[in-house]
Structures are given as structure tokens and as C-alpha cells.
Amino acid sequence: MIQRIQTLFLLLVAISMIAAVATPIWLQVNAMGNQYMEMTAWQITISELPQKNTLSQSGNIYIGILALLAAVIAIYSLLQFKNRKKQLMLNMINALLMGLTLGLVVYTSFKANENFNPAVSGSFVLGFYAIAFALIMNLVANRFIRKDEMLIRSVDRIR
């Protein structure tokens, strides 16, 4: 299990999705520079800038739940190293979940930007890039799992 490279990639997927849950995903500062909006996987918070007093909060818990679910599936897939077909199926489901999470992040940030400061777009930060990184690592892990499966089939054919 540990000696296979896809194990490392699946571990990186899980770590990246947990990082996406723990760090901010999107930030926006209004035109006057006295308020900012921060989106995490759990909520969107509007705060005053010098004092950091919270003005309003709205929940978007669905992003956090999807990200944690993707991390759990990646860890479960990592433990299914003896059944490569099941591992491939889990990784495909995980890719769909991460793609959905990424789409929801973009949609939610777009909607939040319309209400806060439509003239200027906000910036995606570490949480967003962690989700994108996890999606890429999942695709690379799938590639190596398929490569292992083809190698096993070719060895079985020789026997």
C-alpha cells in the first residue's frame, strides 16, 4: 500500500480537502476599504476592517460538507488498495464531488460578490486552490491506478 505512488496522491487529496475546509476560500474588500467579505467552507462573513467586528454572517455549510465527504472518500479509497476497480470507482465519484464543490464555490462567491461590491471581483485564496489541487491529484492517482491495473492484466496474460 505505502509503496504505491497513488497512495501519496490520495493522501494529498485528503489533506488538500481538509485544508480547503480549514482556510478561507474567497476574499473581497469593498471600494472604500472599510469592510471585507470572507468566504470559508462553512460561512460568509462581512466584517469591518480596522476592528474586525462582524457585521453579518450567512451559512454555506454545503461546501464544507462536500469537502469533508471528498476527504473521507479519498481516505477510504486509499485503504481499498487491493481492489483497484473499486478504488477507480471511488476516485471517479470523488472527482465528481470535488468538481461540484469547486462549482459551488465559484457560484457562491459570484452571488456574494453581487450583493457586496459588484464593481470589483474578489480574489480566490488558499482554500479554492486546495480544492483545485486535490482534483488534479485525484486525476493523477486514477492514472497510476489504471497503470497498475493494466500491468497486472498483462502479467496475468503471460501466465
Is 66 contained in some domain? yes
Is 124 contained in some domain? yes
In the chain, the number of structural domains is: 1
Please answer whether residues 55 and 47 qualify as being in contact, where contact means their C-beta atoms are separated by less than 8 angstroms.
Answer: yes
- Average pLDDT of the chain to the nearest whole number: 88
Q: 3-state DSSP call for residue 100?
A: helix
Is 98 contained in some domain? yes
Is 102 contained in some domain? yes
End-to-end, the C-alpha distance of the chain in Å comes to: 24
CATH assignment of the domain containing 45: 1.20.140
Amino acid in the structure at residue 46: I
DSSP 39: E
Is 159 contained in some domain? no
Amino acid in the structure at residue 11: L
Is 17 contained in some domain? yes
Q: What is the structure's pLDDT at 59?
A: 81
The domain of 136 spans 5-153
Q: What is the structure's pLDDT at 34?
A: 78
Q: What is the pLDDT of residues 101-156, one digit of tens each?
A: 999 999 999 988 887 777 777 889 999 999 999 999 999 999 998 888 888 777 76
Is 49 contained in some domain? yes
Q: Is the confidence at residue 14, as pLDDT, over 60?
A: yes
Is 74 contained in some domain? yes
